[in-house]
């Protein structure tokens, strides 16, 4: 069974944000929190667990700094979450052993060879942190520009036209169930993140995907907010992905799983593609006609903003690429000190425990 893909989190102007609280706060879940440094086997362990349950519905959470690495696995039918609980997405048990358990992968590392390379490890770790700090500075600059773009776009938007379109779309694409049902749940998951390849969006595998082309972001955010509310009011559970560069204030993407329906925003942050999407929606028509043409200063402000965002996001991606190279060097030291037989036994033990739940 094909899994669903999300990012566990992303770098933002203020910190690394991990919007997974909906899963962590559900006391019906069993949570395994993995603690361990680079190269300690966290991602490998999660990949083995995912493979052991490949016939089950799963959510796989990718690492934004390294999309080939896993940060979490959620086995939906078994209600089991396995996640990396070390920095930058550190988590500790709220209900130890009863709901959450810590798995210390550091226990499978031999200390002596690591102490012998202490100076090298300290130097690489400090340089790695410095690259991430510079990435954060780039995103701080991007956030300021995005805020300015969206403020100007809000003033330029034709709210009445946009509201009417949102209502028509909800009526056409979101049927009211025959039997009344309680209000649906709005869950937050992350489809977009800042990566080494720039701002990347993971398109969900649903049959009906509509791409909202909106370089200025405001009209798409308004539409998604209203559509998510309309779907929840009719009793559908929905997934909303918010723009973390804009401090998570603006909705960016929407999935309605039961209807096999998704709306994805393609903007100045990054272009979005999907397999066999429906006709793209040009959100430019929801800005007042001629407003940018008739106001040269506003038009210049928008062009400058979009160019500035593109430049700083490229710099942020370059910093993450440099950090990844150091991360790989750091991994080499820890892999050389790892007890792989012990890690293999641990993976079989956890898989057996999950199967017994």
Q: Residue 102: which pLDDT band, with cuts at 50, 70 and 90?
A: very high
Reported as type and span, the H/E element at residue 80 is strand 80-84
> Tens of pLDDT along 285-325?
999 988 888 888 888 999 999 999 999 999 999 999 999 99
pTM over 0.85: yes
> Tens of pLDDT along 119-175?
999 999 999 999 999 999 999 999 999 999 999 999 999 999 999 999 999 999 999
Asked if 131 contacts 319 with a C-beta cutoff of 8 angstroms, the reply is: yes
3 state SS of 270: strand
Of the candidates 123, 121, 131, 135, the residue with the CA atom closest to the CA atom of residue 37: 121
For residue 336, what are its two tokens? 């050389």
Distance CA 306, CA 269 (A): 8
Q: Which residues contact 64 (CB under 8 A, 6 or more apart)?
A: 7, 8, 9, 10, 11, 193, 194, 195, 200
For residue 152, what are its two tokens? 């100007």
User: What pLDDT, on a 0 to 100 scale, did the predictor assign at position 213?
Assistant: 96
Task: Return mean pLDDT, the chain.
Answer: 93
Strand bridging mode 198-201 / 192-195? antiparallel
> Tens of pLDDT along 214-233?
999 999 999 999 999 999 99
3 state SS of 195: strand
- Classify the phi-psi angles of 235: left when phi > 0, otherwise alpha if psi is within -120 to 50, otherwise beta: left
Q: Is the pLDDT of residue 5 over 90?
A: yes
Q: Which residues pair with 16 in a beta bridge?
A: 11
> In angstroms, what CA-CA distances link 111 with 108, 116, 337?
9, 9, 7
User: What pLDDT, on a 0 to 100 scale, did the predictor assign at position 20?
Assistant: 83
3 state SS of 157: strand
């Amino acid at each position: 069974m094909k899994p669903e893909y999300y990012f566990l989190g992303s770098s933002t102007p203020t910190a690394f944000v991990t919007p997974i609280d909906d899963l962590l706060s559900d006391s019906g879940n069993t949570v395994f929190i993995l603690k361990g440094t680079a190269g300690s086997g966290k991602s490998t362990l999660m990949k083995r667990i995912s493979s052991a349950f490949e016939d089950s519905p799963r959510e796989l959470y990718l690492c934004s700094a390294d999309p080939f690495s896993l940060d979490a696995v959620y086995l939906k039918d078994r209600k089991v979450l396995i996640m990396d609980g070390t920095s930058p997405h550190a988590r500790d048990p709220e209900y130890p052993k009863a709901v959450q358990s810590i798995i210390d992968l550091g226990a499978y590392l031999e200390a002596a060879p690591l102490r012998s390379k202490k100076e090298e490890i300290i130097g690489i770790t400090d340089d790695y942190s410095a690259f991430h700090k510079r990435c954060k500075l780039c995103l701080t600059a991007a956030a300021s520009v995005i805020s300015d773009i969206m403020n100007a776009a809000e003033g330029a938007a034709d709210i009445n036209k946009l509201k009417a379109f949102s209502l028509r779309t909800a009526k056409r694409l979101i049927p009211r169930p025959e039997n009344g049902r309680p209000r649906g749940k709005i869950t937050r998951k992350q489809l977009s993140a800042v990566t080494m390849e720039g701002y990347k969006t993971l398109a969900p595998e649903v049959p009906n995907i509509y791409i909202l082309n909106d370089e200025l972001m405001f009209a798409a955010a308004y539409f998604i907010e209203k559509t998510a509310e309309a779907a929840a009011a009719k009793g559908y559970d929905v997934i909303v992905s918010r723009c973390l560069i804009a401090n998570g204030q603006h909705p960016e993407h929407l999935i309605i799983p039961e209807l096999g329906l998704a709306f994805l925003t393609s903007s100045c942050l990054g272009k979005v593609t999907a397999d066999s999407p429906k006709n793209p929606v040009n959100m430019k028509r929801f800005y007042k006609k001629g407003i940018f043409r008739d106001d040269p200063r506003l038009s210049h402000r928008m062009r400058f903003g979009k160019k500035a965002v593109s430049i700083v996001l490229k710099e942020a991606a370059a910093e993450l690429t440099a950090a990844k190279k150091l991360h790989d060097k750091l991994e080499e030291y820890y892999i050389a000190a790892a007890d792989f037989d012990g890690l293999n036994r641990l993976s079989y033990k956890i898989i057996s425990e999950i199967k017994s739940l």
